[in-house]
Amino acid sequence: MQTRQLGKTGPVVSTLGLGAMGMSGMYGPSDRAESLATLDAALEAGITLIDTGDFYGMGHNEMLIGEALKGGKRDKAILSVKFGAQRDPGAGWIGFDGRPAAVKTSLAYTLQRLGVDHIDIYRPARLDPNVPIEDTVGAIAEMVQAGFVRHIGLSEVGVETIRKAHAVHPIVDLQIEYALITRGVEDKILPVLRELGIGMTAYGVLSRGLISGHWDKGQGKAQGDFRAYSPRFQGDNVDKNLALVEALRAIAAAKGVSVAQIAIAWVAAQGDDIVPLVGARTRARLAESLGALDVTLSADELAAIERAVPRDAAAGTRYAEAQMAHLDSER
């Protein structure tokens, strides 16, 4: 397994990370046994970076990963955990809590659910508009000093917030959506990350399956599936976006790789400071994603991909309007 360091001060992790969110219902029902088998296969393949959130399935995801790490496997994993998103019993999203006391309480529950004594990278899932980021990061920094956290990361925040947080404690990485059809980070955020020596963990590299090459319009109808109300999967938008996928498929076919593999390889090719997170829920999809590590893209191929999927060609925003309003990274 190839490795990359997260920023100047972060841990060395596998070039490809595994995002476990989809194993806890965010994309409809998942199979518990297959989820555990996929986590085990990822660790055996050398994937070290495992990403979760305490609000994925309201603790379900953390407990699932905790089970997968039993039997002496904890040392194989670099655990990245997001916290702070508030949900109601009906799974509705009702805000974010970044207060210092909430930070420490969330961490205590996370350690218990995962069955570990420390978290490798702990990060607020969003910016709390009512709490200075300095206070939130300062609370995590206290947990670093106490030994419960190793490193601090951020998620979906903009350049001003990044600078403020980094001034309080070194930030090792920003987790943010980045894909062929999601490239807003390139304008201001990525240059600042590189200026400060902060890495990026890129989620949504397959745009929640949309550019995986496996998606069709009949999917994503299950209750609880994020894609049932995601703008890019609705109406005329999905037709326009799937046309981009077909253009990408032609390039992938000519190279003898899958659409998913070329999309993942494109993200990985954007810099050694970027680690793609794949959301594989099955061993088959994991194996396909791992194959992307063997795909090297030439300058001509990168140019062809850019022509096939031009920047800003995607139809629809990456989240619904209400959720977009909560993204500090979009301001």
pLDDT digit string, tens, across residues 170-198: 999 999 999 999 999 999 999 999 999 99
Question: If DSSP states are collapsed to H, E and C, what string results for 204-263?
Answer: CCCCCCCCCCCCCCCCCCCCCCHHHCCHHHCHHHHHHHHHHHHHHHHHHHHHCCCHHHHH
In whole angstroms, give the CA distance from residue 264 to residue 276.
7
User: Encoding tokens for residue 167?
Assistant: 């001034």
Least confident window among 22-31, 62-71, 121-130, 293-302? 22-31
Split at pLDDT 50, 70, 90, the class of 320 is: confident
Residue with tokens 């099955």: 282
Instruction: Convert 141-158 to b/e letters by CB count within 10 Å (16 or more is b).
Output: bebbeeebbbbbbbbbbb
pLDDT at 302 over 80: yes
Say yes or no to pLDDT of 299 above 80: yes
DSSP assignments along 108-125, one per residue: HHHHHHHT-S-EEEEEES
Strand residue runs (E) in 126-226: 149-155, 171-177, 199-203
Q: By percentage, how much of the chain surpasses pLDDT 70?
A: 98
Please state the rounded mean pLDDT for residues 274-293.
Answer: 96
Residue 153: DSSP 8-state: E
Cα→Cα distances 91→25, 26, 33, 124, 128, Å: 11, 10, 23, 19, 19
pTM above 0.85, yes or no: yes
pLDDT tier at 223, thresholds 50, 70, 90: low
Most confident of 37-46, 217-226, 304-313: 37-46
Q: Which of 27, 56, 122, 178 is catalytic?
A: 56
Distance, CA of 151 to CA of 288 (rounded, Å): 30
Tell me what pLDDT residue 65 has.
98
- Annotated catalytic residue 56: yes
Which whole number is the average pLDDT over 5-25? Answer: 95
Q: Are strands 199-203 and 85-87 parallel, antiparallel or unpaired?
A: unpaired
For the record, the structure tokens of 179 come out as: 């894909």
**Tens digit of pLDDT for each residue in 86-123?**
988 988 888 899 999 999 999 999 999 999 999 999 99
Of 104, 84, 88, the C-alpha closest to 96 is 84
Strand partners, 313: none
Tens of pLDDT, residue by residue over 224-266, are 676 777 888 888 888 898 989 999 999 999 999 999 999 999 9
> What is the structure's pLDDT at 221?
66
Q: How confident is the model at residue 220 (pLDDT cuts 50, 70, 90)?
A: low
26 pLDDT more than 90: no
3-state secondary structure of 149: strand
Q: Are 36 and 160 in contact (CB under 8 A)?
A: no
Percent residues over pLDDT 90 in the chain: 78
How far is C-alpha 241 from the chain's CA centre? 21
Most confident of 233-237, 242-246, 300-304, 316-320: 300-304
Residue 201: pLDDT over 90:
yes
